[in-house]
Chains A and B, each alone.
Chain A
Amino acid sequence: MSDTQPSAPDLLNIGSYEAGWHDADARYSFKAEPGLNENVVRQMSEMKNEPKWMLDFRLRSLKHFEERPMPWWGGRIDVDFDSIYYYLKPDTGNNRSWDDVPEEMKQTFERLGIPEAERRSLAGVGAQYDSETVYHNLKKEWEEAGVVFLDMDSGLREHEDVVREHFGTVIPPEDNKFSALNSAVWSGGSFVYVPKGVKIDIPLQAYFRINADKAGQFERTLIIADEGAFVHYIEGCTAPTWTSDSLHSAVVEIIAKPGSRIRYSTVQNWSNSVYNLVTKRAVAMEGSTVEWLDGNIGSQLTMKYPSVMLVGEGARGEVMSIAYAQDGQHQDTGAKMVHVAPGTTSRIIAKSISRGLGRSTYRGLVRIHNGARGAKSSVDCDALLLDRNSRTDTYPYIEVEEDSASVGHEARVSKVSEQQMFYLMQRGIEESEALALIVNGFIEPITKQLPLEYAVELNRLIELEMEGSVG
Chain B
Amino acid sequence: MLKITNLHAGITGQEILRGVDLEVATGQVHAIMGPNGSGKSTLAKVLAGDESYEVTAGSVSFRGEDLLEQEPHERSRNGLFLAFQYPVEISGVTIANFLRTALNARRENPMSAMEFYGLLQDRLKELKLDDSWSTRYLNDGFSGGEKKKNEILQMMLLEPTLCLLDETDSGLDVDALKIVSEGVNRMRSPERSIVIVTHYQRLLEYINPDYCHVMLNGRIVQSAPGIDLARRIDEQGYELIREQASV
Contact = CB atoms under 8 A, between A and B. Distances in A.
Interface stretch (A54-62, A77-85, A306-314, A417-425): A417-425
B105 A440 contact: no
B49 interface: yes
* Interface size, A (range): 20 to 34
Interface stretch (B18-26, B88-96, B118-126): B88-96
Given A422-B49, A428-B158, A444-B91, 18 more contacts: A420-B90, A422-B51, A423-B87, A425-B49, A426-B72, A426-B73, A426-B84, A428-B73, A428-B77, A428-B106, A430-B105, A434-B73, A437-B98, A441-B92, A441-B138, A442-B92, A444-B92, A444-B93
Nearest to B82: A426
A438 B158 CA distance: 20
A417 B88 CA distance: 10
Interface in A389-442: 417-420, 422-431, 433-434, 437-438, 440-442
Contacts of A431: 73
B66 interface: no
A425 B91 contact: no
Contacts of B92: 440-445
Nearest to A444: B92
B101 A429 contact: yes
B201 interface: no
Interface of A: 417-420, 422-431, 433-434, 437-438, 440-445
A425 B76 CA distance: 8
Interface residues of B, number: 30
A425 B93 contact: no
B72 to A, nearest CB: 4
A423 B76 contact: no
Contact of B93 (A422, A428, A440): A440
A311 to B, nearest CB: 35
Residue among B73, B76, B137 with the most chain A CB within 10 A?
B73
Given A428-B106, A429-B73, A418 B91 contact: no
Contacts of A437: 90, 93, 97-98, 101
Contacts of B81: 426
Residue among A418, A427, A433, A445 with the most chain B CB within 10 A?
A427
Contacts, number: 79
Given A418-B51, A428-B158, A441-B93, A423 B88 contact: yes
Nearest to A419: B88
A427 B102 contact: yes
A430 B73 CA distance: 6
Contacts of B197: none
Contacts of A429: 73, 101-102, 105
Contacts of B51: 418, 422
Interface in B102-142: 102, 105-106, 137-138
B158 to A, nearest CB: 7
Contacts of A418: 51-52
A13 to B, nearest CB: 24
Contacts of B75: 426
B227 interface: no
Contacts of B67: none
A46 to B, nearest CB: 52
A428 B52 contact: no
B29 interface: no
A431 B51 CA distance: 13
A437 B75 CA distance: 20
25 contacts: A417-B88, A419-B88, A420-B88, A422-B72, A423-B84, A423-B87, A424-B98, A425-B49, A426-B49, A426-B73, A426-B75, A426-B76, A426-B84, A427-B98, A427-B105, A428-B77, A429-B73, A429-B101, A429-B102, A434-B73, A437-B93, A438-B90, A441-B93, A444-B91, A445-B92
B86 to A, nearest CB: 9
A419 B87 CA distance: 9
B90 A425 contact: no
Interface string B136-176: 01100000000000000010001000000000000000000
B155 to A, nearest CB: 10
